Amino acid sequence: MNEFSRIESLIGIDKLNLIKNKTVLVIGLGGVGGYSVETLVRCGIENIIIVDYDKVDITNINRQIIALHSTLNKNKTEVFLSRIKDINPKCSVKIINELINKDNIDLLFENNIDYIIDACDTIETKKLLIKKSIEKNIKLISCMGTAKKIDPTRLKITTLDKTSYDKIAKILRVWTKDENINKKIMVVSSDEEIIDVKSKELASMSFVPNVAGILCAKYVIDDIVNN
């Protein structure tokens, strides 16, 4: 018996080995990206690149898996490195502790990557990731907005063109049309209407971003196993 014996019993050793040999990049280690990383590593991924420039903040505790009083003010990438190694010491982890933009995005592609999970907050970076993934023929799934939503059952894996009630997705739909991008962009999105809260904060409940992150990871694992 080993830490992945129950997965092996479910899908077989050959498919488990496929999972172990893929490389996944996760950009953004918040509520969405954190649960993507957690799920990927517990599913057997042994090559992962994690990207975030931020430190753990007190306001992260309501939804982020690494956010604890003991980890406050520590780099998210460093905290996750320790956690990943504690789950699976064999996992190869590369950390990129940078805010990604057009000037440094090539940092992400210094290694061969099979999948990208885009869990970042910045729309311009999402656009860059879409273009780069198409250019380099890397499979990508991008998480849309999860703030001000409260029903995790309204989240689904879909394509960008089929999204609704999502402000981020709307911006990206218009942009892809303007850029003549015809490729189907895989996303996780909720069709729940945004809750009108009188706050400038991106109000959130843990189960919406966290379920979104798990769905992003599910897309990757399903694609490895079924293709």
The pLDDT assigned to 1 comes to 85
Q: Is the pLDDT of residue 199 over 80?
A: no
The pLDDT assigned to 150 comes to 95
Mean pLDDT score across all residues of the chain: 96
Confidence band of 203 (pLDDT split at 50, 70, 90): confident
Q: Is the pLDDT of residue 22 over 80?
A: yes
pLDDT tens for 30-87 read: 999 999 999 999 999 999 999 999 999 999 999 999 999 999 999 999 999 999 999 9
Write down how long the chain is: 227
CB-based contacts of 7-12 (< 8 A; 24+ apart in sequence): 7/43, 7/44, 11/225
Query: Is the model more confident about 197 or about 99?
Result: 99
For 20, the enclosing helix (H) or strand (E) is: helix 13-21
**Do residues 30 and 121 make contact, with C-beta atoms less than 8 angstroms apart?**
yes
The DSSP string of 56-113 is --GGGTTT-TT--GGGTTSBHHHHHHHHHHHH-TT-EEEEE-S---TTTGGGGGSS--
The pLDDT assigned to 137 comes to 97
The pLDDT assigned to 72 comes to 98
Q: Which domains does the chain have, with CATH numbers?
A: 5-226 (3.40.50.720)
Distance from C-alpha of 159 to C-alpha of 142, rounded to nearest angstrom: 10
The pLDDT assigned to 122 comes to 96
Average confidence (pLDDT) over 150-165: 97
Q: Is the pLDDT of residue 201 over 80?
A: no
The pLDDT assigned to 227 comes to 86
Q: What does pTM read for this prediction?
A: 0.96
Query: Is the model more confident about 204 or about 18?
Result: 18
Q: Is the pLDDT of residue 164 over 90?
A: yes
Q: What percent of the chain has pLDDT over 90?
A: 93
